[in-house]
A = this chain, B = another copy of it.
Amino acid sequence: MAEGKEKKYIVRFEPSGLKTEVPASTILLEAAHKVGIYLSSICGGDGYCGKCKVIIDEGQFKSRPTTLLTQDEIQENVVLACQTKVLSNMTITVPKSHALQAGQILMDADAHRFSQLAGEMQIGMFEFDPLVRKLAVEMSAPTIRDNTADHERLYLGIREQIDAPIMQTGFRILQKLPRVFREANYKVMATIGWRGGTTEVIEVEPDRTDAVLQKGRKTGLKTNFAVAVDLGTTTVVAHLIDLTNATTIDTEATYNSQINFGEDYIRRIIYAEENNAFDEMQNRIVHDVNNLIVTLAARQRIDLQDITAIICAGNTAMVHFLLNLDPRQIRREPYVASAGFVPPIRAAEAGIQINKRGLLYCLPSVAAYVGSDIVAGVLTTRIYTKKGISLFIDIGTNGEVVLGNRDWLVCASSSAGPAFEGSGVKHGMRAASGAIEKLAIQPDGSIEYSTIGDTKPAGICGSGLLDTLAELFTNNIIDRTGRFKANKDERLTEGDEGWQFQLVPAGDGYHEIAITQADINNLIRSKAGVFAAIQVLMDSTQTKPEDLDAIYLAGGFGNFLNTRQAVTVGMLPDISLEKIQFVGNTAIAGAKTVLLSRKALETTEQIAKSMTYFDLMSHPTYMDEFIKASFIPHTDLSLFPSVKLATEKV
């Protein structure tokens, strides 16, 4: 082996063909990142999640021993990229399902579904009064009798049109006012933004509304756009909004390229702390957001200078990463954010590429584990206005739950775990092309399923996993604790990792897809976490299932969930199914609503302030509730009368 500290080697990644030169002994995972290939990784490179498998086609390497590879895999030269050093020129194949493309905008079925779903603004709910707007301001020219200074003349002109008791103007704008006023003959286009109780003059240009035939770029027009962003831990979604008429004109999504630092944000905080990688963490998410903005702007032939605002909703940690606020206390008792109400800043301060004086808004959050995406959900579902009690659930990596009505709101975040996002599940995968999204066991015992994109199955995503759990239970293959029943089904086999049930047999170009006992245990833990959170909030407020007027399911998962099955496994309270409603991406819907109305922004602030947060980890009954919910559907069957009937039928 040609090991040498000063040597450099070429590593080539297939099927993309991307190459990079790295020093000898470089870790393969780093080499992959260097060319922009972001391998799936939950553990952040610690070598215990087993997600970063790649195949060595050619070349010398050294891998640390691991129990996460099967004999077959070892024989096929499969390695964990995070545990493998480069010792020569190499060629690597990245399995399709493991690579997250970055540096290019990923528009697979999944991302498209996330971007297009719902996320509609609550038009009519609030007065149209966008956070940033352009005003054509026509002033009279000064005279000897009216020699008001330019700055004050501008304020008078703006105040003729809008209510702006406290105004601010940046120094650079002030410096150019005299020139612009005289060049424009006192007809200017002022861009003004709402900034924490004050109205800021962001830009002043000659009003060129009448000069439509002018050459070159058209500045000084009323044209005005903004971007609303759902800062998801896994997927980042952006909507391009025309601020002049409150319409969504395009949408785009990409994977969050922080993902190779850990699949959940706690992992990412730990990674950033251990590697002093806070800047890098910000760079990644800012890069993703900029990619989305540039893609949207290019496709719609919009100048970035005409995008004057960006508004973000997301969990508290993602907002901290975006702004490079210190996130370290988020993961430490008593779990405190740097800021829940983040003041608007200039987008350029965070590196966001819109108009260089454009503003970046973040919706307010409630606590370290109940972020602004959840506040946006409360806004969008209007549960804060209703007399009846509603339950709002957003199941992702964590499962956030809000319960309440117009008089009170309580919330909590369960440690649901990412099982329903495919993590910690042998054949789990994201809701991407090839994922089994629906699955049913037929009366004859055969299994029917459908995949995203109608392709060959590559794995199982969240809704498919829920179906699988429910179907295994209702078909008597697992018992109420989730354990496989001893029966004679030949699909139930014992392998290296214990018992597993085959869902798709290998052959015909299909590889086997199965669910293991460990997978089932993980899924039950996840659903138990959500249900226990719901129970704690309901008990604390003396709310009974029959008191619930509605359950709103938000997030990507929610949209494809089979509600019947969700009740069957005991994830949702057993209420009339017609009361359960999918509400789609309420994070982006709420962000857009706020973008278009100052009043909506104030409302989210009131909502965030009024929500009482329950810390479940320290709550006296949560662990009991979690244990009781760790059965299918629950230890207390009286809570699930409809499920009881179904199992009795079998």
Residues of A whose CB lies within 8 Å of any CB of B are 142-144, 146-152, 165-169, 171, 174-179, 182, 196-198, 323-326, 328-329, 333-343, 345, 349, 365, 367-368, 613, 615, 618
Contacts and interface: CB of A to CB of B under 8 A. Distances in A.
27 contacts: A142-B336, A143-B334, A144-B615, A144-B618, A147-B335, A147-B336, A147-B367, A147-B615, A149-B337, A149-B339, A149-B341, A150-B336, A150-B337, A151-B341, A151-B342, A152-B341, A166-B196, A166-B197, A168-B198, A168-B343, A174-B323, A174-B339, A175-B323, A175-B338, A179-B326, A197-B198, A198-B198
A107 B146 CA distance: 42
Nearest to A340: B149
Given A149-B337, A151-B341, A175-B325, 19 more contacts: A146-B334, A147-B336, A147-B613, A148-B340, A149-B365, A150-B336, A151-B342, A166-B166, A166-B197, A168-B343, A174-B323, A174-B325, A174-B343, A175-B323, A175-B338, A177-B338, A177-B339, A178-B328, A178-B329
Contacts of A147: 334-336, 367-368, 613, 615
A281 to B, nearest CB: 13
Contacts of A326: 175-179
A157 to B, nearest CB: 14
Given A174-B343, A328-B178, A166 B336 contact: no
Contacts of A368: 147
A349 B175 CA distance: 12
B198 A340 contact: no
Integer count of this chain's copies in the complex = 2
Nearest to A367: B147
A312 B78 CA distance: 72
A142 B148 CA distance: 51
Contact of A338 (B174, B341, B349): B174
Contacts of A323: 171, 174-175
Nearest to A326: B178
A411 to B, nearest CB: 13
Contacts of A335: 144, 147
Nearest to A278: B175
Contacts of A337: 149-151
Nearest to A350: B171
Contact of A342 (B165, B174, B341): B174
Contacts of A342: 151, 174
